[in-house]
Amino acid sequence: MAERSIDRAALFLLKKAAREGVETAWDRFEKQQPQCGFGQLGICCRNCNMGPCRIDPFGDGPQEGVCGATADTIAARNLLRMIAAGAAAHSDHGRDIITTVYAAACGEAQGYEIKDEEKLRALASEYGISWEGRSKEEVARELARAVMEEFGMVKGSVQFVKRAPEKRRAVWEKAGVLPRGIDREIVESMHRTHMGVDNDYVNLVLHGVRTSLSDGWGGSMVATEFSDVLFGTPQPVRGKSNLGVLKEDQVNIVLHGHEPTLSEMIALAAKDEELLALAREKGATGINVCGMCCTGNELLMRHGIPVAGNFLQQELAVITGAVEAMVVDIQCIMPALTKVAQCYHTKIISTSPKARFADALHIQFEEHNALEIAKKIVRVAVENFPNRKPSLVQIPEEEVEYVAGFSVEAILKALGGSLDPLLDAIKTGKIKGIVGIVGCNNPKHTHDHGHLNLTRELIKNDVLVVETGCAAIACAKAGLLLPEAAAEAGPGLRAVCESLEIPPVLHMGSCVDISRILVVAAAVANALGVDISDLPVAGAAPEWMSEKAVSIGTYVVGSGIFTVLGTVPPILGSKNLVELLTKGAQEVLGAVFAVEEDPFKAAILILDHLTAKRKALGLD
């Protein structure tokens, strides 16, 4: 059991699950062993009905599919499809946010308003939209329409690529990967990977870079920026993390998924006096709303709402026996949840027309009466409180404080309004570099082991770490998101953190908020007059599992940032593809991928990279 997680709350509940005969992702992972070798190597193809085909990795059997596709073509096509799916997930999230902004500006989205007018102004001016003599709603409508058009193919390239340094844009233009419309790149990925279209692995990968850039500098950035417009730009806020945030005497509602549109309304509805009175009537002392995965990140960044855990803890939350409702929208929601919930009293409530689950209660979310729907969902949870089986309730003690909310604006504020203190710290070597650690959990690795050990090794070596997604939640649970954690940092980073009163690990938000990291990298590069690829920065995804992570890794490398993956991507069946991604990309993009499963060795790779970049900039 110990090798499944390093989180004591997780281990406590895994034992409970075993006692109660409840299967989790770890059990199902074991049952899947050995996993398909062709799949792991990326050399099986079922893109047409002459197949499925597979390439013999040992060279004795077939080296081509029925159509003649080689291992290079098949592995590159599969990779491109992963990127396209990840980019589609993020970008469709962005589309939903911009649709809500438009509806709110038209007065057709109950409970929503333009919360951050300053950001709306900044974005309007970026898009060349005049504010003169117009209401914020009029401006928001025009801006939202302009952004909606970027999902198609109206313009030359997506607007936010202009935020990248000129040198980076020149790299993209030369490589032919400047992202055009967001949807266009995704559709073209599907076209190219259809049987008998693009068979050149280099050409396929280049389009993968272009598609991923339409995510990082397009769909994801739209999701981030316009979530800020609608719900407010995050500022540092304190909260609590891990499964100990569930309350034995309260109605517990866990919000899981990705979009903040519904969760913001549920957080509001849980404060409704009538529903609080109903909760008391049912024997509870209150209504406790917690987050999970990236919905959790969105809520904690803006409101300090407790976060119950990261990806591999979703089933464990139900296994506490103390969750009245788990409300889900889109992405990273295990289909197994409804089966686990049947062992307890928990209601799994699906809300998105795009994501239905067998045996879940479906209460569809509509933005025009969002608050009413949110209240309906909270009522279902409250009414479920008496159905709890007290003998099955066991909530772990672990509950750790965090400070989150480090948007770009919040970082600038902490720095006193200018990047100079950060640049000085980098130049003097107090901070050796900045590393973004992001991504999921994966039962292939001990839960949270990669995130925590890589983070600790880096801060110990004076590297400022910025995080999002499940990586950030892992560090929240370990207390690394507190200013006091500076005690674990090297002397230079520690001094900087103490003088600015910031943690050595900055929580920058949900998965789409990796776009905030791109904005910081671009701002630092612009301030130094160099390309992002010249900076002492790196990226890492120690426990990634999702296709979104593949898109993220690709746009991070595409943006010129060396990136270390902690789980092996399914490409090893094509030596040429591996060579291209780990070596050849350097010449074209100024950055490459590395794969290292051991977080301590990954730290060494990253530190060596930072040292080399510092040297090249004359900073050593």
Residues that bind ligand SF4 (CB under 6 A): 45-48, 50-53, 65-67, 69, 74, 195
Least CB distance from residue 226 to ligand MSK, whole Å? Answer: 18
C-beta closer to ligand SF4: residue 44 or 537: 44
Least CB distance from residue 328 to ligand MSK, whole Å? Answer: 12
Of residues 380-419, which lie at the interface with ligand MSK (CB under 6 A)? none
C-beta closer to ligand MSK: residue 378 or 454: 454
Question: 294 touches which of ligand SF4, ligand MSK, none (CB within 5 to 8 A by kind)?
Answer: ligand MSK
Using CB under 6 A as the binding rule, whether residue 303 contacts ligand MSK is answered as no
Question: 407 touches which of ligand MSK, ligand SF4, none (CB within 5 to 8 A by kind)?
Answer: none
Using CB under 6 A as the binding rule, whether residue 548 contacts ligand MSK is answered as yes
Which residue in 181, 241, 246, 238 sits closest to 214, CA to CA? Answer: 181
DSSP 447: B
Question: 415 touches which of ligand MSK, ligand SF4, none (CB within 5 to 8 A by kind)?
Answer: none
Sign of CA dihedral 458, 403, 551, 177: negative
Least CB distance from residue 81 to ligand SF4, whole Å? Answer: 12
CA distance 422 to 537: 13
Least CB distance from residue 110 to ligand MSK, whole Å? Answer: 27
Sign of CA dihedral 383, 386, 390, 396: positive
Three-state SS sequence of 553-572: HHHHHHCCCCEEECCCCCCC
- Rounded (10°) CA dihedral 384, 387, 393, 396: 0
For residue 388, give every residue at least 6 positions away whose Cβ sits within 8 Å of its Cβ, in sequence order, or none: 321, 322, 324, 345
Using CB under 6 A as the binding rule, whether residue 469 contacts ligand MSK is answered as yes
Strands 537-541, 433-437: pairing kind: parallel
Q: Would you state the structure tokens that stand for residue 51, as one six-digit string?
A: 């197949």
C-beta closer to ligand SF4: residue 72 or 462: 72
C-beta closer to ligand MSK: residue 293 or 588: 293
Q: Angle, to 10 degrees, between the axis of helix 136-149 and the axis of helix 71-105?
A: 160
Among 267, 333, 440, 525, binds ligand MSK (CB under 6 A): 440
Least CB distance from residue 69 to ligand SF4, whole Å? Answer: 4
Which residue in 151, 146, 216, 148 sits closest to 177, CA to CA? Answer: 216
Least CB distance from residue 38 to ligand SF4, whole Å? Answer: 12
Question: 293 touches which of ligand SF4, ligand MSK, none (CB within 5 to 8 A by kind)?
Answer: ligand MSK
Least CB distance from residue 544 to ligand MSK, whole Å? Answer: 7
Question: 65 touches which of ligand MSK, ligand SF4, none (CB within 5 to 8 A by kind)?
Answer: ligand SF4
155 contacts 218 by C-beta, under 8 angstroms: no
Least CB distance from residue 612 to ligand SF4, whole Å? Answer: 40
Among 158, 262, 267, 470, binds ligand MSK (CB under 6 A): 470
Question: 195 touches which of ligand MSK, ligand SF4, none (CB within 5 to 8 A by kind)?
Answer: ligand SF4
Which residue in 213, 220, 109 sits closest to 168, CA to CA? Answer: 213
Question: 439 touches which of ligand SF4, ligand MSK, none (CB within 5 to 8 A by kind)?
Answer: ligand MSK
Taking residue 617's Cβ as centre, other Cβ atoms within 10 Å add up to: 15
567 contacts 597 by C-beta, under 8 angstroms: yes
Return the amino acid letter for 142. E
Sign of CA dihedral 2, 486, 404, 591: negative
Return the amino acid letter for 345. H
Least CB distance from residue 58 to ligand MSK, whole Å? Answer: 34
406 contacts 300 by C-beta, under 8 angstroms: no
C-beta closer to ligand MSK: residue 72 or 259: 259
- Rounded (10°) CA dihedral 303, 309, 315, 321: -70
Question: 332 touches which of ligand MSK, ligand SF4, none (CB within 5 to 8 A by kind)?
Answer: ligand MSK
Among 193, 546, 559, 567, binds ligand MSK (CB under 6 A): 546
Least CB distance from residue 384 to ligand MSK, whole Å? Answer: 25
C-beta closer to ligand MSK: residue 185 or 543: 543
Coarse DSSP helix, strand, coil percentages of the chain, rounded to the nearest 5 percent: 55, 10, 35
Phi, psi of 431 (to 5 degrees): -110, 120
Using CB under 6 A as the binding rule, whether residue 311 contacts ligand MSK is answered as yes
Among 140, 245, 294, 481, binds ligand MSK (CB under 6 A): 294
Which residue in 543, 618, 573 sits closest to 25, CA to CA? Answer: 543
Question: 469 touches which of ligand MSK, ligand SF4, none (CB within 5 to 8 A by kind)?
Answer: ligand MSK
CA distance 549 to 546: 5
37 contacts 57 by C-beta, under 8 angstroms: yes
From residue 478 to residue 517, the character string flagging contacts with ligand MSK as x (rule: CB under 6 A) and all else as - is: --------------------------------xx------
Among 165, 208, 218, 439, binds ligand MSK (CB under 6 A): 439
Which residue in 481, 478, 590, 484 sits closest to 537, CA to CA? Answer: 590
Question: 495 touches which of ligand MSK, ligand SF4, none (CB within 5 to 8 A by kind)?
Answer: none
CA distance 494 to 580: 38
Among 332, 519, 580, 606, binds ligand MSK (CB under 6 A): 332
Return the amino acid letter for 387. N
Residues that bind ligand MSK in the complex, under the rule CB under 6 A? 293-294, 311, 332, 439-440, 469-470, 510-511, 546, 548-549
